Structure 1
Amino acid sequence: MLDTALLIVREEGVDRLTLGHLAARAGVSKPVAYDHFGTRSGLLIELYKSVDIEQVNALRSALTTGERSLEETVEVLAATYIHCSVDTSGERHALGAALTGSEEKGAVYQELLDGYVVLFAAVLKPHSTLSPAELERRCVGLVGAGEALSAAMVRGSCSEAEAAEAFASLIQGAVRAPVG
C-alpha cells in the first residue's frame, strides 16, 4: 500500500492522500487501510519513513566506501544528499511539510532530521578539530541548509549541480574551526 500511497502523492499531491482514496487505488477495503495505518497521520508517517530510509541508505552507501579527504567527503555528502531529492521528485518535501502539521507528526519528522545530524557528524568528525558538541550544532544547521537547498532545487530555483555546489561550500566552511 505504501507504493500506491507514493504514487498518489506523485500523481495527485499529498493533499489527495487519504486512507479512503488509498484503499480505492490499492484495491482494498477502507477497513484494511484503516487497520494497517490507523489514521491519515499514521499513513503519512509510514510513507515519509519509507521514502527517508531510501535516502539514508543512499547516503550511507556513498559514504562508507573507502577513506576520503575532507574535500572528497564533502563533495560526496553534498551531491548524494541533494541527489536524493531529485530521486524523490519533491514528494519527500511535500510529505515533510505535511508532517509538520501536528505534534505527533512533527516529532517523527524531527527524529528523522536528527538522524541526518548524527550521520553528518559521524562522517565529518575525522576531518574536523571542532568539539563533538560544536560539530553537532553545525550539522544541525547543515541539515537545515540541505533541506532548504533541496527544496529550492525541487521548485526549480536552481539546478541539482548548483544546489550540490552551494551545499558543499557550506559543509566545507562549517567543518573548519574558527580562527583566533
Structure 2
Amino acid sequence: MKIDDLFNQIEDILEEGKYPFGGSKVKVDADALRSIINDLRVALPDEVVKARQIASERKTILAQANDSAEVKIRQAEAQARKMVEEHEITKAAQLNASQIITDAKKQAAEIIEKAKANSNEIVDNAQKWATDLRNGASNFVETVMEESDEILSKTMEDLTRNLNSVRQASSKIKTVTVKKAGQ
C-alpha cells in the first residue's frame, strides 16, 4: 500500500472520530490507527529507500551534469583561447603582410625614381653628346669650308696670275713673231 493512501486513511479516522463534550479532542478507534501506523512503518522504508535512491540518482545525475558542464566550459574556454590566439596570429600576419606590401611599394617607388633619374641622366647626356657632335660637325664643316675657300681663293689668284703671265708671254711671243716676220 502507498504511503499517501495510509495518510488518507488516518485523516478519514480523524474525521469519523467523535468530539466528547464539545471539546477539541477527538475520540478515535485506536486499534485501526495502530494498524495504519504499523502499515506505515512497513511501507515507509520502501518509500524512504525509493526516495533515497531518487535523491542519490539525482545527485549522480547532477554530478554528471556538473562534470559534463565543466568539461564543456573548459572545452569552450580552450576553444575561445585558441580562437583568440588564431585571431591574434591572423591579425599579426595581416599587419606583417600590410607592412611588407607598404615596404614593397616604397621600394618600388624608389626603384622607379632611380630609374627615372638614370634615364633622365642618360637622355641629358645623349642630348649633350648629340649637341656637341652637331657643334663639332658644324665647326668642322665651317673650318673645312673656310680652308677650302682660302685654298680656292689662292688657287684662283694663282690661276689668274698664271693666266696673266701666259697672256703676257703670248703677247710677247706674238710681238716677237710679228717683229721677226716683219724683218
Q: Determine if the TM-score, normalized by the shorter chain, exceeds 0.5.
A: no
Q: Higher relative contact order by CA 8 Å / sep ≥ 6: 1 or 2? A: 1
In the superposition, the TM-score normalised over structure 2's length comes to 0.17
- TM-score (ref. length: structure 1): 0.17
Would you tell me which structure has more helix in proportion to its own residues?
2
